[in-house]
Chain A
């Protein structure tokens, strides 16, 4: 089975622009989470969606939004990009809404560079 797939793998945007990142979970997984990993730091939780509903939101501004589609794939949208949004954006999926007994499976991420 294919793992978590993310697209695009790399992206370069200019300050003020908008970006959409995409994620397809492992087949059968209904939960998708998004994390931001700035260079040299651990991933920071942005959103979790389960069964198309938002289950959790991290400490990120309203410029960040996401949604989950009926096929459980997900999009992360970031408006009005800032230089500080440059990071590796990781998508993770799990079968259920809680990570405790069904650990997250991560994709290889989208490297976003904002110039």
Chain B
């Protein structure tokens, strides 16, 4: 079955430190890949998407992600964490099934002052 795995349900970093959130997918066919962010009591906001153009994708708020087919990974990074980055982050994949996204379990990012 197609699935998405996010390693680490909780990640804590200091303000100004590198943010690395991990995502691996299971598929023999390269999927379309997305990262969404969810702030408390809100819906999901798209951070970035990979659709088979450049393997390094830049998103909003300084985030970027790199698609590595050999590792079936799509890890999310940000060079310098800000307090406002504290939120839940979800990796999702689409296999061209009419709008169905498969989400990972989410990673809660905490940013310490």
Contacts and interface: CB of A to CB of B under 8 A. Distances in A.
Contacts of A45: 100-102
B11 to A, nearest CB: 15
A68 to B, nearest CB: 13
Contacts of B96: 98, 100
A56 B100 contact: yes
A108 B38 CA distance: 10
Contacts of A94: 99
A99 B99 contact: yes
Contacts, number: 77
Nearest to A49: B99
Interface residues of A, number: 30
Contacts of A56: 97-100
Contacts of A8: none
Nearest to A55: B98
Interface stretch (B12-20, B43-51, B60-68, B69-77): B43-51
A52 B111 CA distance: 43
Question: Which size bracket describes the interface of B in this complex?
Answer: 20 to 34
A92 B36 CA distance: 13
Interface stretch (A14-22, A36-44, A70-78): A36-44
B34 interface: yes
A25 interface: no
Contacts of B34: 103
A58 B101 CA distance: 10
A33 interface: yes
B103 A42 contact: yes
Interface in A29-61: 31, 33, 35, 40-45, 48, 50, 55-56, 58
Interface of A: 4, 31, 33, 35, 40-45, 48, 50, 55-56, 58, 90, 92, 94, 97-101, 103-109
Interface of B: 4, 32, 34, 36, 41-46, 49, 51, 90, 92, 94, 96-106
